[in-house]
Chain A
Amino acid sequence: MGRAGVYDAIVIGGGHNGLTTAAYLARAGRKVLVLERRHLVGGSTVTEEIFPGYKFSVLSYVVSLLRPEIIRELQLSRHGLEILPLESTFTPLPDGDHLARWADHDQTRREIYRHSPLDADAYDRFGQLMYRMALAVKPILSMVPPDPTSLSPKDLRGLLRLDRHLRDLGDTDFFMLYKLMTMSSADFLDEWFETDALKATMSASGIIGTFLGPRSPGTAYVQLHHYMGEIDGAFRAWGFARGGTGAVADSIASAARALGVTIRENATVVQVIVRGGRAVGVALEDGEEIKARTVVSGLDPRRTFLSLVDEADLPQDYVHAIRRYRSVGSSGKVNLALGELPDFTSLPGDGDHLRGAISISPSQDYLERAYDDAKYGEFSRRPYMDVIIPSLIDPGMAPPGKHVMSCFVQYAPYALNGGWNDERREAFGDTVIDTLSEYAPNLRGAIIHRQVVTPQDMEDEFGLTGGNIFHGELSLQQLFFLRPAPRWANYRTPVRGFYLCGSGTHPGGGICGGPGRLAALEILKGGVR
């Protein structure tokens, strides 16, 4: 531990990854300070009572990728984390029919069979395949990416491990993994299924958070990324954190505080102070300077390097790599306080279908058309949506008998023609409500309050560069040993003593904690690269 008043490490940004890094460093005896710009920690995972009595998971809304080792090692259950199951996916269709997938295998099979007997068989086989693929990729998630061009013993060991792992896959699975890495989710699913709504709903997980359509190559991998979440050892389980996703960050913050971490809210860092190529502290907006031997940034790579670090302190090729790092937003969020539940024409009543995900993804063309609008700078006239009603899973989210509804919406391009303003934000909100009302006509009348979050808002309020929800796209050219830049995927940066720990590092975005944990473990090893 350092001298009194001097921190061993400062973590910039109290997102769940920054908090995770702080907790792991403190667990190893380091004295740690977390500086968060907003009035509360959590970043993209906050729960806020935007309208009295109604709690919104403002941005992210479901949990699956959270690394089980973090839950275990930081004892998050003791610190209040409870993950409740989200059991179904319901896709209402414009023709008055619907497609539903349930927790119960037989029930799901029966439902898919209703649409296509062949797809019912294929669905099981596909699930089996994705399970094996997730199993194949899983070890990579908890591994520091080795540099494939380096001959250092550490990198070679890492590459060897990776190589052995891929060899163990067997050729069929290896080829399949290769296809997944390179294909579009639409093409990949076309090889398996014939029911359009099923393919569309499944491929939707391949476009979440990307500026890509279901027919863009690379989306099949993003789809796999969403299959990799595990809860209690079961892959592809999605859950809802009791109290909203804010509970995830709160539990990590609680664990961090218990380990001795100091967390300061309302503390905006404006500069990383570098002396002789080495980070020595940070400067806050109000002029305060705080020293530390190690500085860690939980912000996205572009914000970190293009606004907090003096470019003169960085090699040019690194600056270029960060400039080229793709981080454009494509998603919006609409949160609703509701006086009553939506009543879907295609499956009336308040049945179990409202307790899981509600997906507005009737066909692949629908999704691709939604993308077309965005490609040319408009938000989708008829967007894709992933909707959940948290108050049905955790009644504490809304007053008794009332509800909150979370709508994740795509596409809402960051670079909207003419730019985002209040008027455009509300027009976007109207489009979302209009679209949903086509399936649940009572919705409009049920709305008590509406919060619309555009990619511009995500950048302005939450510091997400370009409004990208994952701190940079999860496309292959910026994953694993390329995240965020070639040769710098091991959480280190060209500035000594300065590290990255946010979603812009391996294994990437999502409520995951993987970047935060691996960064801490690397920092504890010390040294430069």
Chain B
Amino acid sequence: MLPGTPFHERTAALCRASNWRPWAGYLAAGSYDLYHDREYWAIRNAAGLIDVSPLYKYLIRGPDAVRFLDRLVTRNVHKCRVGRVMYTPWCDGDGNVIDDGTLARLDESVFRLTSADPSLLWFHDNAAGMDVSCEDISGSTAALALQGPNARKILDAISEPGIADLGFFGVTDVELAGIPVSVSRTGYTGDLGYEIWVDAGEAIPLWDVLMDAGRSYGIVPTGLMALDMARIEAGLILVTVDYVPTHQALLESQKSTPLELGLDWTVDLGKEHFVGRDALARQAETGPEWQLRGLEIDWVSLEQAYGSAGLPPMVPSSAWRTSVPVYDGRGQVGYATSGCWSPLLKKYIALAHLEGTAGDLETGLEMEVTVEHQRLRASATVVETPFFDPPRKRG
């Protein structure tokens, strides 16, 4: 039996759906209610409180911390000031992505790095010969994401000092009703939101404090199903779903570089060296053959596909994460890896790996849809991500 997170005592009592999913060796709530609509809308209208404790978390410290991290990740760590957070992937020597996460600079030589897969060995191997320590704090540090337009008000009301001024991708230490925490203005929803990092021993009091403070602002304990929809709307990729981490790949063709994942903005080729740099520099010259892009499935075409079977159009009620073929007029040009109906945008959206010019913006393609056991196709257009990008996210 998998253990719960440090919040389990509270989340278990609230999880009326008994909808638990394994996440990194822990039980995590898929949804608290049988339907996750309320949780999804909380993220976009009020505030969703999400237990993200299963994330792998590492504390990296020492005189060589910057040097080590700068060698490890694709972004320029020298540019990350104390109190700032960077989103970054990291690669193997061939430039293929191993994992991605957020890197928070807590002090001159102290960083907290999150990852989706266990990474201790990789960090350890890459730290050889440097004066730096990598400590796995996954078990000792609990984490909550508070995401949605009311997140700031809820936190600010109980935070000492206040966090109203904490900028997008900033990080700071505060006390929430007396509980010492680290707060970063980050999240996986593309909305105004925060992630709160706390000693596992303080998890339950923290949960209570936040639920209390959030009551009048519509706080809703939110599970992974709602989060999955929000992250697709935000165009944020998910490891093992939208790309195969190189350590899990069985075939070369399953691997992806940051350039192929639309993460070229995270790759600083100006850096003299980092793991995978040479391979990425070569690929940057020729341009990647594959691109990860947003797809918007055309409603009229969907209506026609369903109409051919005598049905009204149906949209998925939750996010899917299976591989779905994408075609142009001649043949298959790629595959979508996750998608959902966006209740907010009133659009059917997906993230897709597209080959060659099929990945150019505005290209008209087709995505497979299964209607009454028949594989049909609906028109789809390549669009810019994020699909949803409200000003409040950064504001």
| A residues lining the B interface (CB < 8 Å) | 106-107, 109-110, 117-118, 120-122, 124-125, 128, 131-132, 135, 170
Apart from A106-B25, A117-B136, what 7 extra A-B contacts exist at CB < 8 Å? A106-B2, A118-B120, A118-B124, A121-B121, A124-B118, A124-B247, A128-B250
Chain A nearest CB from B304 CB (Å) reads: 39
Give bound CA distance, A135 to B120, whole Å.
27
In contact, A121 and B118 (Cβ under 8 angstroms): yes
In contact, B250 and A121 (Cβ under 8 angstroms): no
Which residues of chain B from 115 to 137 have any CB-CB distance to chain A below 8 Å in the complex? 118-122, 124, 136
| A residues near B119, Cβ cutoff 8 Å | 121
Chain A nearest CB from B26 CB (Å) reads: 8
- The answer, yes or no, to whether B252 is at the interface (CB within 8 Å) is yes
Give 24 CB contacts A-B under 8 Å.
A106-B2, A106-B22, A106-B24, A106-B25, A109-B25, A110-B25, A117-B120, A118-B121, A118-B124, A120-B118, A120-B120, A121-B118, A121-B119, A121-B121, A121-B122, A124-B118, A124-B247, A125-B121, A125-B247, A128-B250, A131-B250, A132-B250, A135-B250, A170-B252
- The answer, yes or no, to whether B248 is at the interface (CB within 8 Å) is yes
Chain A nearest CB from B8 CB (Å) reads: 15
Chain A nearest CB from B170 CB (Å) reads: 30
| A residues near B247, Cβ cutoff 8 Å | 124-125, 128
Q: Which of A107, A117, A125, A170 has the most CB of B within 10 A?
A: A117
Give bound CA distance, A128 to B247, whole Å.
8
| B residues lining the A interface (CB < 8 Å) | 2, 22, 24-25, 118-122, 124, 136, 247-248, 250, 252
Chain B nearest CB from A126 CB (Å) reads: 10
Chain A nearest CB from B279 CB (Å) reads: 14
From A125, which residue of chain B is reached at the shortest CB distance?
B247
| A residues near B22, Cβ cutoff 8 Å | 106
Give bound CA distance, A121 to B126, whole Å.
14
Chain A nearest CB from B340 CB (Å) reads: 27
From A121, which residue of chain B is reached at the shortest CB distance?
B121
| A residues near B25, Cβ cutoff 8 Å | 106, 109-110
| A residues near B2, Cβ cutoff 8 Å | 106-107
Chain A nearest CB from B100 CB (Å) reads: 17
Give bound CA distance, A130 to B248, whole Å.
12
Give bound CA distance, A125 to B246, whole Å.
10
Chain B nearest CB from A137 CB (Å) reads: 15
| A residues near B124, Cβ cutoff 8 Å | 118
| A residues near B136, Cβ cutoff 8 Å | 117
In contact, A122 and B252 (Cβ under 8 angstroms): no
Chain B nearest CB from A352 CB (Å) reads: 11
| B residues near A170, Cβ cutoff 8 Å | 252
From A170, which residue of chain B is reached at the shortest CB distance?
B252
Give bound CA distance, A124 to B122, whole Å.
12
| B residues near A120, Cβ cutoff 8 Å | 118, 120
Give bound CA distance, A125 to B122, whole Å.
10
Give bound CA distance, A131 to B121, whole Å.
19
In contact, A122 and B248 (Cβ under 8 angstroms): no
In contact, B118 and A128 (Cβ under 8 angstroms): no
Query: Nearest 8 pairs between A and B by C-beta?
Result: A121-B121, A106-B25, A121-B118, A118-B121, A121-B120, A117-B120, A122-B121, A117-B136
From B252, which residue of chain A is reached at the shortest CB distance?
A170
Chain A nearest CB from B92 CB (Å) reads: 10
From B25, which residue of chain A is reached at the shortest CB distance?
A106
Chain A nearest CB from B302 CB (Å) reads: 36
Give bound CA distance, A346 to B164, whole Å.
54
Give bound CA distance, A117 to B135, whole Å.
10
Chain A nearest CB from B135 CB (Å) reads: 10
Chain B nearest CB from A141 CB (Å) reads: 19
In contact, B248 and A128 (Cβ under 8 angstroms): yes
From B2, which residue of chain A is reached at the shortest CB distance?
A106
Give bound CA distance, A46 to B291, whole Å.
57
Give bound CA distance, A117 to B56, whole Å.
12
Give bound CA distance, A110 to B2, whole Å.
10
Chain A nearest CB from B169 CB (Å) reads: 28
Chain A nearest CB from B109 CB (Å) reads: 22
Give bound CA distance, A135 to B251, whole Å.
11
| B residues near A125, Cβ cutoff 8 Å | 121, 247
Give bound CA distance, A118 to B122, whole Å.
9
| B residues near A132, Cβ cutoff 8 Å | 250
Chain A nearest CB from B371 CB (Å) reads: 31
Give bound CA distance, A117 to B134, whole Å.
11
Give bound CA distance, A124 to B247, whole Å.
9
Give bound CA distance, A122 to B123, whole Å.
12
| B residues near A135, Cβ cutoff 8 Å | 250
Give bound CA distance, A202 to B381, whole Å.
51
Partner of A109, one of B118, B122, B248, B250: B118
Chain B nearest CB from A190 CB (Å) reads: 15
Chain B nearest CB from A259 CB (Å) reads: 38
Give bound CA distance, A42 to B216, whole Å.
75
From B136, which residue of chain A is reached at the shortest CB distance?
A117
From A108, which residue of chain B is reached at the shortest CB distance?
B25
| B residues near A128, Cβ cutoff 8 Å | 247-248, 250
Give bound CA distance, A118 to B118, whole Å.
10
